[in-house]
Structures are given as structure tokens and as C-alpha cells.
Amino acid sequence: MGDPPPVTAAEWSEPPQAGLRRLPGLVLGAVRLAVSAAPREFALVTALQAAGGLGLVLPVLGGRRLLDRALGGAGLTAVLAQGAVVLALTALVAVAVAVASSRDEVLSERLNRYAMGRVLDVACAVDLEEFERPAFHNRLERASMSARIRPHQVVQGLGSLTGALMATAGVALALAAIEPLLVPATVAAGAPLWLAGLKSGQVLYGALFRLTPAERERSYLQDVLTSRRAAAEVRAFGLAPHLRSRWEARTRERLGEIRRTVRRRLRITLLARAVSGVALAAVLGPLLARAATGAMPAADAGAAATAVLLLASRLRAAAAGTDQLFEAAPFVRDLGSFLRPPERAPAEPAPPPFQVLTVENLGFRYPAASRPALDGVDLTVKAGQVVALVGENGSGKTTLAKLLSHLYRPGSGRILYDGADVASAAPEELRASVAVLFQDFERYLLPASDNIALGRPERAGDRGAVERAARAAGADPFLRGLPDGYETLLGPEFAGGTDLSGGQWQRVALARAFFRDAPFVILDEPTATLDARAEHDLFERLRDLLAGRTVLLISHRFSTVRTADHIYVLAGGRIAEHGTHASLMAAGGRYAELFALQAEGYLDPAAIPGR
Ligand SMILES: Nc1ncnc2c1ncn2[C@@H]1O[C@H](COP(=O)(O)OP(=O)(O)OP(=O)(O)O)[C@@H](O)[C@H]1O
């Protein structure tokens, strides 16, 4: 797709000449994309479209000769032979056009698959932090929309332009034989149409560029109104009318912008046609005047005028091709800029799993946030330890877990494996030795066994390991009880699918983390939805289950935290205190206070130490 610069908000208002300058590069980029996506279809469709374009003129010229011969008294055989040629040509053109259009459907699909595949590759490769930025989502939305139709539009435009230009060249040659000067004059009369196509394409892109955020909101609302995930809450709170009216508002905005754009494009087209029509009249006028005054034989003037009109109609067909190119060009440029890989310093190989993980003065701020989520965090985790993170909502626990699992890069400070900074190591390699169970883990609408095996897809075939992980997470009994056991599809939206309870889903997600079999395990609220017995069982067995591994445990349940080897208490993105349960209780600080608050709910206050 070439190497176009990133698209800015001002893109759509760029002057037409800038668009013209970039066009060859963009066409080349789209052609390269088509050649990579579907070389055979691309060659065939382009050749057939060109042949179709040329073929449109040949029967006309052949018909003229046929008429000449018939009127000129040529023999019946010669006339019939000429007629057969014209018929054959017409049939050939019809076949070429039909085959081109059917192959074009396949080409469109393959182009879409290829371009969309690349969009998906980029979306999966970008840093997680990008997903926090609205600008990224706008670009992703536009790239996805563009990938669907625009590269194909360039190829189509190119095909019809090639065909139209071949036909144009044929007519231009015929006209040049009568009156050479009329050729550039007629071409000049068609120029406004091309300029209008260029401007009109930019106007459309500008409108869709401006509409992207509203369009994303509209899609989001559509999703909420139609997804199973939100269906219960939408009904329980009676949200449909409210959400529907927000959707209507976005839709009205869209309609307004589209109306304005259509009107603007129509004005541009009408103006161009008017100017072009006047220019064409200026070409034809003197010709007819010369014929009227006898300065030119009427037959020559008639032939020249017919050729001028034919050339003008071919030029209009060529303008239809360029219109497609001009319309697609800014979108293809936008797509190209999205697909351009971000510049990154080459990553070094990741070090082996740590014996000691040290965090020094770690800081991180979400792009949309005004305050840092983590600020000056220092922490040490030794291999084989169970370390707990506690703290009130929003204190930074999940953010720290995401940094330690190398999903976000530190904003400041360092993460050290055995004393060596891992900042320049490849994050995906570092992540290979970490297993994370997120608080808001994903529920994959896939068979139960896949839901577990996705913990390490390259070992997905190891059925024994899948079942061991399920047993460890306490998921085995209920998975066996499903209609197709481990092969049951977890997604009632699909035929044969079923659903699990919240706690059962959490155990499946836990099994996924176990299946990953990584030396560093991060569990963010792993028991939030488990019943009391399941939670108790899990923590009783956690050390055995994860023997030899390092565990970072985030939990609001102090009963599960107290057994950790070391506990860090976060407050406002900083480490407020740390130590063992006993030392923290003895210190009587924030931990002791939170512990006591929770215990109060269960126990007689007199039984709580320090009360
Ligand atoms: N994507 C985000 N964009 C902006 N701010 C965020 C984002 N995610 C979290 N925050 C903010 O960062 C801070 C830390 O959030 P974090 O999720 O790490 O807290 P937590 O301790 O895990 O909370 P909880 O106990 O509720 O899970 C909070 O102030 C939160 O509002």
C-alpha cells in the first residue's frame, strides 16, 4: 500500500492538486494490494474490462463499415460477412462484460478478505494502550469500512478507466483524421468533469471522516440494543426507548451530514457539467458555423461533429472511472496509513523467567486520565512466592497487574528481571511466561474445551492437560455434566450452545490460566463470583496447584489474602504499606483497618484483634 503519511483531520480539505499528486501512488498501492490478494482475478477482470471498453467501439465502427458497404453496393456475401463480424464482436463484448462482472464479484471478496485481514493483523498487533484512545478507534473504524469496498473501487475505477481510455483513443484517432485540433479542444471540454470528480471524492471523504465518532456511537448503541449481553438489563431498566432515541439522534446527524454532502456533490457535478457543456458547445459552434457558411463541406462537418460528440461521451465514461478512483483515493490513503506498521526499536529477546522481579518507581497514566493510575510504585516478588495486592477500588491494582504482565509499557520507572530492565525485551516473549486471569475475563462463545485450551493455543490438542486444568479449577464436574461434555458450545446464541453461571464461567477462566502453565501467575479477583465453599477450596489448594510458580493475587477478600507470603497495600496509585499479614495487622495501618472493617461483617467485634 505504499508508505503514505498519516491522515490528519485536515485531510479532507486538502486542495485538489494535492489529491492529484498522490493519486498515482495510491492507485499503485491499490493495484499492489489487488495483485497480492487475487492476482488471477485482477488480471482477468482488468483485461476483460479493457476489452469490453474497446469492444464497445468496435461494433459501432464495424456497423458504420457495414452500412457503407450496403449503401456502396457491395455484394450480398461481403455485406453478410461484415454483418457476421459485427455480430460476433457484439457477442464477444457481451460475453467479456458478463465474465468480467462475475469474476469481479470474486475479486471484490478476495480483496475484502485480504485488506480486512491486514486490518485485523494491525488491530491485534498494536499496543493495548492504543485501545484507550478514541483516535485509534476512529482510525480502526474507517480502516475497516474502507477495507470492505475502497481497494475494489480503485481496481474497478482503473478497469473502467482503461476500457474507456482505449475507446477514447480509438475515437480520438478517427477525429484527428478529420480535424486534429478538435481532439485537444474536446478533451479540454471534458476536464471540468475530472476536476469535479476529484473535489467530489474529497467532499465525501471529509463527510465520512467527520461522521466517524458519531457513527461509532451509533454502532455501539445498535450493539447494546441487539446483543444478548445487554438484553436483560435493557429490559430490566426499560432502557430501549432511551437508547433508541439516542440512536435516532445519531442517525439524524448522519442523515443531515449525508444530505449536506449529497447536495454539495450535486452542486459540484452540475457546475462541472454546465461548464463542460458550454465548452463542448464552444467546440461544436464554430464547426457548425463553418458548415453553414460553406467554409467546410457539410458532410465533413457532420462527421466531425459526430466524432466530437462520440469522443465527449467516451470522455464522460472515462470520467466515471476517474470518479471512482478519486472517490476511493482518500480512503485508500487512510487505510494505507492505518496498515503502516508503527515504528519501534528492534526488541531484544526476553530474559528467562525471573528469580526476583523488582519494580522501581513505576508510574503509569491512562491516555484519557488526568491523574496517574500508578505513581512511584516499588515492589519485589521472589520466584515461588504468593504475593497479594490489596487496596480500595481504583487504587491501581489491576493497572499494576497489567504492567507486570507486559500489556502496558511503564510510563516511568522500571521493571527488572533479576536486576535487568526488561523495557527493550519483546513484550510478546515476556508475556509467554505469564498467565493472567482478568477480573473481566472473556467468555468465548466456543466449545468448553476450547475456552480452556485458549490459555496456550499451541497445546490445544492436549486433552489430558485441558481436563487437568479443569479439575484444578473445579470446573470438571459441571463440564462433564453438559450435553456434549467438554465439547459443548458455550453460547446459547448458536445452535446446540448453552450457557454457564457466572461462577462456572470464572472457573473455566481459571482453568484457562492453569492450562497456560506459566511460571508467573496473576490472578485478579479470581474468586469474585465463586461461592464460599469453592473459594475456600481453591485457596486451600492454591499453593499445591501452583507449586513452584510465582503468584500475584489481587483480592478484596482478606480471608484469602492473609495467607500470602507478602502483601502490598495500594492507595491512590502508590504503595501505602507492605509486609506479612501479621506485621501489617501489628502496624495497625490501612491494611488492619480494611481487614477489621471486613471482619466486622462476619464476627462479633469483640473477637477482632485490636478492637
Ligand atoms: N482505561 C482507563 N482510562 C482512564 N482511567 C482508567 C482506566 N482504567 C482505570 N482507570 C483509572 O485508573 C485508576 C486505577 O484503576 P484500577 O482498575 O487499576 O483500580 P483497581 O485498584 O484495580 O480497582 P478495583 O478494585 O475497582 O478493581 C482508577 O482511578 C481508574 O479510574
pLDDT tens across 551-564, in order? 999 988 888 888 89
Q: Tell whether the model's pLDDT for residue 547 goes beyond 90.
A: no
Q: Cell for 563?
A: 495467607
- Does ligand 1 have an atom closer than 6 angstroms to the CB of 391? yes
Q: Which of 103, 132, 82, 121 is nearest to 39 (CA)?
A: 103
- Does ligand 1 have an atom closer than 6 angstroms to the CB of 55? no
At residue 292, the pLDDT reads 86
- Does ligand 1 have an atom closer than 6 angstroms to the CB of 398? yes
- Does ligand 1 have an atom closer than 6 angstroms to the CB of 555? no
- Does ligand 1 have an atom closer than 6 angstroms to the CB of 370? no
At residue 154, the pLDDT reads 84
CA distance 47 to 55: 12
Question: Ligand 1: which atom is nearest the Cα of residue 392?
Answer: 25
Element (H, E) at 81: helix 76-125
Residues sharing a CB contact under 8 Å with residue 31, sequence separation 6 or more, in sequence order:
42, 154, 155, 158
Q: Tell whether the model's pLDDT for residue 83 goes beyond 80.
A: no
By alpha-carbon position, which residue is closest to atom 8 of ligand 1? 366
SS3 for 542-575 is: HHHHCCCCEEEEECCCHHHHCCCCEEEEEECCEE
Question: Ligand 1: which atom is nearest the Cα of residue 402?
Answer: 18
- Does ligand 1 have an atom closer than 6 angstroms to the CB of 406? no
Of 95-104, 137-146, 206-215, 370-379, which range is least confident?
Answer: 95-104
Domain segments of the chain as ranges: 20-339, 350-433+519-611, 443-517
At residue 164, the pLDDT reads 82
CA distance 358 to 404: 10
User: For residue 116, what are the CA distances in angstroms to 111, 121, 156?
Assistant: 8, 9, 18
CA distance 174 to 334: 42
By alpha-carbon position, which residue is closest to atom 3 of ligand 1? 366
| Gap from CA of 574 to ligand 1 centroid (Å) | 13
By alpha-carbon position, which residue is closest to atom 25 of ligand 1? 393
CA distance 116 to 37: 11
By alpha-carbon position, which residue is closest to atom 11 of ligand 1? 373
| Gap from CA of 88 to ligand 1 centroid (Å) | 73
At residue 169, the pLDDT reads 86
Q: What is the DSSP string of 415-465?
A: EEETTEE-TTB-HHHHHTTEEEE-TT----SSBHHHHHHTTSGGGTT-HHH
At residue 63, the pLDDT reads 63
Percent of the chain past pLDDT 70, that is, above it, reads 91
| Gap from CA of 527 to ligand 1 centroid (Å) | 19
**Is the separation of the CB atoms in 196 and 363 below 8 Å?**
no
Arithmetic mean of pLDDT over the chain: 87
Beta strands across the sheet bearing 420-421: 374-382, 356-364, 412-417, 420-421
Q: Tell whether the model's pLDDT for residue 396 goes beyond 80.
A: yes
The amino acid sitting at 241 is P
The best mutation among 132, 399, 407 to test binding of ligand 1, ranked by most ligand atoms within 8 Å of the C-beta, falls on: 399
Q: Tell whether the model's pLDDT for residue 32 goes beyond 70.
A: yes
CATH number of 20-339: 1.20.1560.10
143-162 mean pLDDT: 86
By alpha-carbon position, which residue is closest to atom 2 of ligand 1? 366
Pick the residue with more confidence: 100 or 506?
A: 506
Question: Ligand 1: which atom is nearest the Cα of residue 395?
Answer: 21
- Does ligand 1 have an atom closer than 6 angstroms to the CB of 366? yes
- Does ligand 1 have an atom closer than 6 angstroms to the CB of 368? yes
Question: Ligand 1: which atom is nearest the Cα of residue 556?
Answer: 25
Q: Which CATH class is domain 350-433+519-611?
A: alpha beta
By alpha-carbon position, which residue is closest to atom 29 of ligand 1? 394
CA distance 229 to 235: 12
At residue 2, the pLDDT reads 40
Residue 100: band (very low, low, confident or very high) from pLDDT cuts 50, 70, 90: confident
By alpha-carbon position, which residue is closest to atom 19 of ligand 1? 394
**What pairs with residue 353 in β-bridges?**
none
According to DSSP, residue 7 is labeled P
Tell me the pLDDT tens digit for each residue of 334-381.
888 898 877 777 788 899 999 999 999 999 999 989 999 999 999 999
- Does ligand 1 have an atom closer than 6 angstroms to the CB of 128? no
Largest CA distance in the chain: 124
Tell me the pLDDT tens digit for each residue of 190-247.
999 999 998 999 899 999 999 999 999 999 999 999 999 999 999 999 999 999 999 9
**What pairs with residue 391 in β-bridges?**
570
Q: Cell for 468?
A: 487437568
Could you identify the residue written with the cell 515476556? 430
By alpha-carbon position, which residue is closest to atom 7 of ligand 1? 366
Residue 53: band (very low, low, confident or very high) from pLDDT cuts 50, 70, 90: low
The best mutation among 129, 392, 398 to test binding of ligand 1, ranked by most ligand atoms within 8 Å of the C-beta, falls on: 398
Question: Ligand 1: which atom is nearest the Cα of residue 573?
Answer: 14
At residue 603, the pLDDT reads 62
Tell me the pLDDT tens digit for each residue of 426-446.
999 999 999 999 989 999 999
Could you identify the residue written with the cell 467501439? 57
- Does ligand 1 have an atom closer than 6 angstroms to the CB of 452? no
Number of Cβ within a 10 Å radius of residue 493: 11
Q: Specify burial of residue 278 (Cβ count, 10 A radius: 0-12, 13-18, 19+).
A: exposed
At residue 487, the pLDDT reads 95
- Does ligand 1 have an atom closer than 6 angstroms to the CB of 369? yes
By alpha-carbon position, which residue is closest to atom 26 of ligand 1? 393
By alpha-carbon position, which residue is closest to atom 6 of ligand 1? 366
Question: Ligand 1: which atom is nearest the Cα of residue 400?
Answer: 18
**What pairs with residue 387 in β-bridges?**
552, 566
Expressed in percent and rounded to 5, the helix, strand and coil fractions of the chain are 65, 10, 25
Could you identify the residue written with the cell 516499588? 378
Residue 97: band (very low, low, confident or very high) from pLDDT cuts 50, 70, 90: confident
**What pairs with residue 447 in β-bridges?**
489
Helices of type H across 293-351: 298-339
| Gap from CA of 398 to ligand 1 centroid (Å) | 7
Residue 531: band (very low, low, confident or very high) from pLDDT cuts 50, 70, 90: confident
Please give the torsion angle defined by the CA atoms of residues 540, 541, 544 and 550, in that order, rounded to the nearest 10 degrees.
-80
